[in-house]
Chains A and B, each alone.
Chain A
Amino acid sequence: MNERSDECAWFQQAVLDVLPELVGTARRLARNREDAEDLVAEAITRAWVNRATLKERERFTGWIIRILTNLFLSQRRSEGNHPHEALEVDEDFSLYERLHQPFLLWWSTPEQEFLDRLLREDLIRAIEVLPEPFRMVVLMADVEGQSYGEIAESLCVPIGTVRSRLARGRGLLQRALWEHACDAGLRSESPERRPSSHG
């Protein structure tokens, strides 16, 4: 096997190994199956064309996921959408503070029980309703596992902006999960804010 066919074989296997991650990430980004599949196919093609820029094969997964995400961002920008334009949202909601009951016995953990009952679909729905600038940073940080620096570079914003959007995005996400839990009867309490019990 010569060097070129060895490279082809390696690339093919690496893509097939990471395909569930590419499909999952693309579906979360694009929010529909057809667009997600087109996005994955385009990302694989770009990765092949730019394979010389991959310095370490061990980093293939993060590298191709970033290609996919940057491709999505680029498509959104060309469509006239600007996911980097943040809304003014003041959100410091904490799901933990809503759920935690400090006077319960130590083995009772309602917050962990809440997470046990949470379905994958609940999380997907809660992310999908986030305003775009917050949805993007939550997806990139929490679903894809990108660093603040990588997110800042892709979105062309300072790291401080990534931090603040992430904090607000996570707050909005937790509020959406809480409201869904109340609607679904998982929690009987009203979603009205109550004073923090932490301290």
Chain B
Amino acid sequence: MGNLGGMTCEEAMRSLAAYLDNELAAGAEQSVRQHLELCRSCYSRAEFERRLKFELRKLGKDEVPVGFEQRVRHLLQSFTASADTVPKDH
């Protein structure tokens, strides 16, 4: 595939990770976006990487065990108790 949207496939793929991570400067970000709009092959690759990233992002959230939630609630209550004992003008 040739030059699409002002960049080649090789250039677009070199910037793909930073593009998907929102780490490109505005001009470069626009160039990659334009290339992906025009190049089916690179778009397909970008969608795959985006989906994999999305699946990884979901790993950052787990069900909270009931016992641990109770532990956290007790911890938070201890902050409230200690805050209540501090005079207002301190």
Contacts and interface: CB of A to CB of B under 8 A. Distances in A.
Given A198-B41, A199-B1, A147 B88 contact: no
A16 B41 CA distance: 44
A60 interface: no
A24 interface: yes
A99 B69 CA distance: 42
Contact of B23 (A12, A142, A148): A148
A154 to B, nearest CB: 16
A37 B70 CA distance: 12
B48 A111 contact: yes
Given A44-B72, A111-B48, A199-B9, A102 B62 contact: no
A15 B9 contact: no
Contacts of A67: none
Which secondary structure dominates where chain A touches chain B? helix
Interface residues of A, number: 53
28 contacts: A4-B88, A8-B80, A8-B83, A12-B80, A15-B72, A16-B72, A19-B64, A19-B72, A20-B63, A23-B62, A23-B64, A23-B65, A24-B59, A25-B60, A37-B68, A40-B72, A41-B72, A96-B49, A102-B41, A111-B44, A112-B51, A115-B51, A142-B57, A147-B23, A148-B21, A174-B52, A198-B13, A198-B45
